[in-house]
Structure 1
Amino acid sequence: MKLYGLKNCDTCRKARKALQAFGNDVEFIDVRQSPLDATTLAKFLDTFGDDKLLNKKSTTWRQLDAAARALPALALLRDHPSLMKRPVIQTDDGLFLGWAKDVQTHFGCDV
């Protein structure tokens, strides 16, 4: 299992801790320290769509000018990894976005 996020993101830390507590072997990938390649980003975008994967409520988004916001999502995520909603969890079952109740339930961590 891979968990993509930011090391200082509270939600990523909670997800990682809960997944490990329930016996999962979690490989954590900090998307700032280890930028994702175009293929991985494209896969995430294909799975979730721009509207869900891009965090347009983030401080990073608000600091971008109109020209930068108009760039394709792939370019934005490549240049500004913190724009990705987090965490993205990759397993043999597929990809999961966020740490909402439905994702927690899927992994049996909603106890």
Structure 2
Amino acid sequence: MLQVYGIKNCNTVKKAIDWLNQNGKEFVFHDYKKEPATIEKLKEWEKEISWEQLVNKKGTTWKKLTPEEQAAVVDANTANHVLLKNNSMIKRPLIESPNGILLGFDEVDYKTKL
């Protein structure tokens, strides 16, 4: 079964969930607001995708960091420290599937990999 991580009020997460429901894909949703990501989960994801991919630098949460805080994110350890404090900065949705991790919503990827 697919594991979907994100925030319920995120438009991209809503699109992904709508697509999954419309295409009969079973999944469990993990809301970062109720169930924050752990360091173990971040490290597990980073075995497959890079920390750079996990950090959503286009989002509001990243933009609210000071330039010094942003500049301090230089590797997995520093990124994980920031991501643990700000789960909403993790690119979303993040979907764990038998075919690997998918980040964001891309209908073509979903059709071919889910």
- After TM superposition, give the deviation of residue 3 of structure 1 in Å: 0.6
- Measured against aligned partners, the alpha-carbon deviations of 1:56-106 in whole angstroms (never above 9, x if no partner) come to 111111111234321411111100011111111112222111112442222
1:65 and 2:71 correspond:
no
* Alpha-carbon distance between aligned partners in 1 of 2:41 and 2:66, rounded to the nearest angstrom: 26
* Alpha-carbon distance between aligned partners in 2 of 1:83 and 1:57, rounded to the nearest angstrom: 9
State TM-score, norm by structure 2. Answer: 0.83
- Measured against aligned partners, the alpha-carbon deviations of 1:4-35 in whole angstroms (never above 9, x if no partner) come to 01100111111111112211111111112200
- Provide the identity percentage: 31
State TM-score, norm by structure 1. Answer: 0.85
* Structure 1 stretches of at least 4 aligned residues deviating more than 6 Å after TM superposition: none
- After TM superposition, give the deviation of residue 107 of structure 1 in Å: 4.7
The residue number in structure 2 matching 1:82 is: 88
* Alpha-carbon distance between aligned partners in 2 of 1:47 and 1:86, rounded to the nearest angstrom: 16
* Alpha-carbon distance between aligned partners in 1 of 2:108 and 2:19, rounded to the nearest angstrom: 14
RMSD: 1.7
* Alpha-carbon distance between aligned partners in 2 of 1:82 and 1:68, rounded to the nearest angstrom: 16
Contact (CA 8 Å) 2:12, 2:105: kept in 1 or not? yes
Report the count of equivalent residues: 108
1:96 and 2:97 correspond:
no
Please show how residues 42-61 of structure 1 align to structure 2 within 5 Å. 42-61=43-62
> Which SS does the other structure have where 1:2 is aligned?
strand
Unaligned runs of 5+ in 1: none
Unaligned runs of 5+ in 2: none
